[in-house]
């Protein structure tokens, strides 16, 4: 939902560079506070200079996507999965922007936003990046003794991975807390859901005490890798 802070920022941005803007569109997102897609005119020159102006206008704490009109296709790319960027909005971004986005200023770009042709490629990319990054990230967190953070992240990342899997069943408009139930209904994968349940139970137990042991963190990562394996089994 758009709030006053977002509208105030958009007004400041239009006042500063409205002659070089084509569009500002807000999108909601189930994992975050949403974001803005800020589209510049194609002939505006050096984009980093304009991006610096965007950030000088004091944006709210939401995601910003700044690009030229001719670059709109990039919003349908898989994005970058894995750590240290634990959250990647891109798999769901195009869907929420196209079907639920709200135009704030300028030209309506929603009809130009492309939905990924093959969501299975998104899932393949997500799985591979999780497998690639999880151990490297975890090693650093164990060094920092951030055991509770490891457990929380394992729970979050399992949920995000299930959300990407749901795209292969044409399910994108799912609230964060509903993802496991929807995954269970559409995939009928008792092993993946059992693993998710164990991760979630572990996370709730550790968060309730606000502390965690090294052994609990190791268990969470082991369960997360099991979840990756089961979800990977649904890739053609």
**How many Å apart are CA 127 and CA 125, to the nearest integer?**
6
Q: What is the pTM of this model?
A: 0.89
- The tens-digit pLDDT sequence of the chain (236 residues) is 678 999 999 999 999 999 999 999 999 999 889 999 999 999 888 889 999 999 999 999 999 999 999 999 888 877 655 554 555 688 899 999 999 999 999 999 999 999 988 999 989 988 988 887 777 888 889 999 999 999 998 999 899 999 999 999 999 999 999 999 999 999 999 999 999 999 999 999 988 888 899 999 999 999 999 999 999 999 97
The strand ranges marked E within the chain are: 21-27, 35-40, 63-68, 102-106
Instruction: Give, rounded to a whole angstrom, the gap between the first and last alpha carbons of the chain.
Output: 37
The pLDDT value given to residue 100: 95
> What class does CATH assign to 4-112?
alpha beta
Q: Where are the domains of the chain?
A: 4-112, 119-232
- The two structure tokens encoding residue 91: 């798999």
Counting every residue written for the chain, the total comes to 236
């Amino acid at each position: 939902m758009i709030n006053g802070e977002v509208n105030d920022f958009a007004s400041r941005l239009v006042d500063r560079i409205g002659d070089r803007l084509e569009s500002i569109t807000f999108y909601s997102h189930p994992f975050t506070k949403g974001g803005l897609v800020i589209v510049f005119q194609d002939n505006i020159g050096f984009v980093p200079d304009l991006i610096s102006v965007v950030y000088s206008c004091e944006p709210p704490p939401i995601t910003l996507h700044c690009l030229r009109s001719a670059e709109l296709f990039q919003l349908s790319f898989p994005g970058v999965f894995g750590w240290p960027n634990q959250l990647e909005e891109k798999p769901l971004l195009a869907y929420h922007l196209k079907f639920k986005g709200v135009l704030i200023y300028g030209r309506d770009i929603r009809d130009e936003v492309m939905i990924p042709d093959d969501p299975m490629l998104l899932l393949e990319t997500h799985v591979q990046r999780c497998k690639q990054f999880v151990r490297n990230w975890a090693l650093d967190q164990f060094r920092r003794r951030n055991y509770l953070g490891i457990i929380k992240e394992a729970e979050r990342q399992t949920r995000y991975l299930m959300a990407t899997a749901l795209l292969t069943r044409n399910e994108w408009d799912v609230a964060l807390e509903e993802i496991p139930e929807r995954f269970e209904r559409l995939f009928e994968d008792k092993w993946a859901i059992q693993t998710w349940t164990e991760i979630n139970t572990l996370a709730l137990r550790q968060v309730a005490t606000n502390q965690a042991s090294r052994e609990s963190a190791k268990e969470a990562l082991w369960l997360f890798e099991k979840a990756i394996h089961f979800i990977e089994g649904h890739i053609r």
